């Protein structure tokens, strides 16, 4: 679960940044936020917005379906290791999973930062206290499931035609779809009204003092 945050220190968010983040929450759906994440993932830069919106929707649907599957309810095999220096990293994250090493690294200082930003925004109705840590662990659990056997169905659900030659179609897999599925998995398990993608974008925006411009969602999204 990446917050793509930078810097450290006590939380100070300008009124303007708070207003921009609240506007972002009101004007975008989770599908559109997911398309924004896909857009920032290497190899997706030139893909069309409608395609990324479509893949975002399918990836998040897939994450919710995975969360509803009783087979995915068992706790994962990984050991959780806590760290308090996540904000010092050039590319900070809330957590990182190493499925093949059987380890999840959890960055407690980044979690504290996210919780403080949610509090400052008055978003407790969207993200109840303590949910960021739980969401991070569930997110990494989804990555474990995707790496260990559930990845093929996700790739199939989110593939897009890359090349058509007569009746033959070559399919391409969209980088970052697993990330959106993992966020949706955590959201569904916790019953959150908004995706943790929104919390991560807010945490990032608060540290940078700038909020990304994301196209408002269309009504049908
Ligand atoms: Zn992830």
Distance 166 CA to ligand 1 centre (A): 37
Q: Do the Cβ atoms of 162 and 105 come closer than 8 Å?
A: no
Distance CA(59)–CA(215), nearest Å, equals 19
Distance 77 CA to ligand 1 centre (A): 17
Distance 43 CA to ligand 1 centre (A): 17
Distance 168 CA to ligand 1 centre (A): 33
Distance 164 CA to ligand 1 centre (A): 32
Distance 180 CA to ligand 1 centre (A): 8
Cα→Cα distances 150→69, 92, 143, 153, Å: 11, 27, 9, 6
Distance CA(52)–CA(39), nearest Å, equals 7
Query: What was the pLDDT predicted at 160?
Result: 81
Distance 11 CA to ligand 1 centre (A): 24
Distance 143 CA to ligand 1 centre (A): 7
Distance CA(115)–CA(89), nearest Å, equals 19
Chain centroid, CA 71 distance in Å: 22
Query: What was the pLDDT predicted at 61?
Result: 96
Which residues have CB less than 5 Å away from ligand 1 (the ion)? 179, 182
Tokens of 21: 């983040």
Beta strands at 168-172 and 160-165: parallel, antiparallel or unpaired: antiparallel
Query: What was the pLDDT predicted at 10?
Result: 67
Distance 91 CA to ligand 1 centre (A): 13
Distance CA(36)–CA(56), nearest Å, equals 9
Distance 42 CA to ligand 1 centre (A): 15
49-68 and 177-190 helices cross at what angle (nearest 10)? 40
Query: What was the pLDDT predicted at 221?
Result: 56
Distance 182 CA to ligand 1 centre (A): 6
Q: Do the Cβ atoms of 155 and 148 come closer than 8 Å?
A: no
Query: What was the pLDDT predicted at 42?
Result: 92
Distance 165 CA to ligand 1 centre (A): 35
Q: Do the Cβ atoms of 144 and 97 come closer than 8 Å?
A: yes
Distance 139 CA to ligand 1 centre (A): 6
User: How confident is the chain (221 residues) per 10-residue block, as mean pLDDT?
Assistant: 48 92 95 95 91 95 94 86 92 86 93 96 97 96 86 83 82 90 97 97 91 76 56
């Amino acid at each position: 679960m990446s917050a793509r945050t930078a810097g450290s220190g006590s939380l100070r968010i300008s009124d303007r940044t708070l207003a921009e983040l609240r506007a972002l929450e009101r004007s975008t759906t989770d599908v559109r936020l997911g398309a924004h994440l896909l857009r920032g993932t290497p190899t997706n830069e030139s893909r069309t917005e409608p395609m990324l919106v479509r893949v975002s929707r399918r990836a998040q649907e897939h994450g919710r379906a995975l969360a509803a599957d009783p087979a995915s309810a068992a706790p994962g095999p990984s050991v959780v290791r806590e760290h308090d220096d996540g904000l010092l990293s050039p590319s900070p994250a809330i957590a990182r999973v190493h499925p093949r090493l059987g380890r999840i690294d959890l960055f407690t200082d980044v979690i504290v930062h996210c919780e403080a930003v949610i509090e400052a925004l008055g978003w407790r109705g969207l993200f109840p206290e303590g949910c960021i840590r739980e969401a991070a662990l569930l997110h990494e659990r989804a990555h474990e499931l995707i790496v260990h056997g559930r990845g093929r169905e996700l790739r199939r659900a989110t593939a897009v035609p890359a090349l058509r030659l007569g009746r033959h179609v070559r399919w391409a897999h969209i980088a970052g779809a697993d990330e959106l599925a993992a966020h949706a998995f955590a959201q569904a398990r916790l019953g959150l009204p908004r995706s943790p993608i929104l919390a991560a974008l807010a945490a990032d925006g608060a540290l940078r003092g700038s909020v990304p411009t994301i196209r408002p969602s269309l009504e049908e999204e």
